[in-house]
Amino acid sequence: MRVHTVNTGLFKLDGGAMFGVVPKSIWNKSNPADSDNLCTWAMRCLLIEDGNRLVLVDNGIGNKQDAKFFGHYHLHGPDSLDGSLAALGFHRDDITDVLLTHLHFDHCGGSIIREGDRLVPAFRNAIYWSNKRHWKWATEPNDREKASFLKDNILPMQESGQLRFVEPPPPGGFTSSLPTIHDAIIPGLSLRLVNGHTDAMMLPQLNYNGRTLVFMADLLPSVGHIPLPYVMAYDMFPLTTLHEKKTFFDEAIAGDYVLFFEHDPINECCTLERTEKGVRGGRTFRLDEL
């Protein structure tokens, strides 16, 4: 097995929304905002090579929305999904599986493209993976979250016949460990279920080069979100997020896990350590250094 970073570009989101109740005077030190209070964030995906399977975890914001939509998010930077795949020697047609942690537009927008007046899968040879709980949540959205679930990004997966579901265990409330689906999609790939950011978000976990690698999605968008109170205002259930962070931190520190960040504009990976101020990021490094 080999894993690769796939950068799909940078975008901007409101700093206050990204850090919730934490004052700007604190979070601005690690993630400085511009004059409009917007911070830059990555849309960093993961590519897993395993035999004849090529699994892409998330795929960024895509390019099919209109100028008004993209005007809210200020896309910038030199990277793109196709360019990053090409730099690794791959094309989107080589992808066999697209694993979507959740269906917010900045994680799944690249799933679907426009061909004339049709919306079709961008990865025509791939299976798209979600889970039934999250699919129902995304296709029957609540009023607070529905702006993040765009039908053009989601429904064509099902209409194409390329959508499949992994089956999560039933929700169990505040448990001592996070529910996990083992050997999902390919052997050795586990999916941890978390519910604070959105219902049934999946965190891929791999044993890689003797280490446990966890794709953090929006449980921990960046190194700056490691302190426990740093919970996004975007999260549907912030106290659940807080509990999930605590639970994960205990396990990650004990196992010396490597955390892979989807949205950190600078840091790809880090470890965790306990300090007098609580859990903080340890060593930061690139995935290709692992």
Give the distance from CA 87 to its chain's centroid: 21
Q: For residues 49 and 37, give the distance between their C-alpha atoms in angstroms, rounded to a whole number.
A: 39
Q: Looking at the whole model, is its pTM more than 0.75?
A: yes
Cα 187 to Cα 61, 133, 145, 181, 182: the distances in Å are 28, 23, 33, 11, 8
Predicted pLDDT at 40: 98
Name all domains of the chain by residue range, CATH numbers in brackets. 2-289 (3.60.15.10)
Q: For residues 12 and 74, give the distance between their C-alpha atoms in angstroms, rounded to a whole number.
A: 6
Q: What is the pLDDT along the chain (290 residues), one digit of tens a residue?
A: 999 999 999 999 999 999 999 999 999 999 999 999 999 999 999 999 999 999 999 999 999 999 999 999 999 999 999 999 999 999 999 999 999 999 999 999 999 999 999 999 999 999 999 999 999 999 999 999 999 999 999 999 999 999 999 986 665 544 456 888 888 999 999 999 999 999 999 999 999 999 999 999 999 999 999 999 999 999 999 999 999 999 999 999 999 999 999 999 999 999 999 999 999 999 999 999 99
Predicted pLDDT at 174: 45
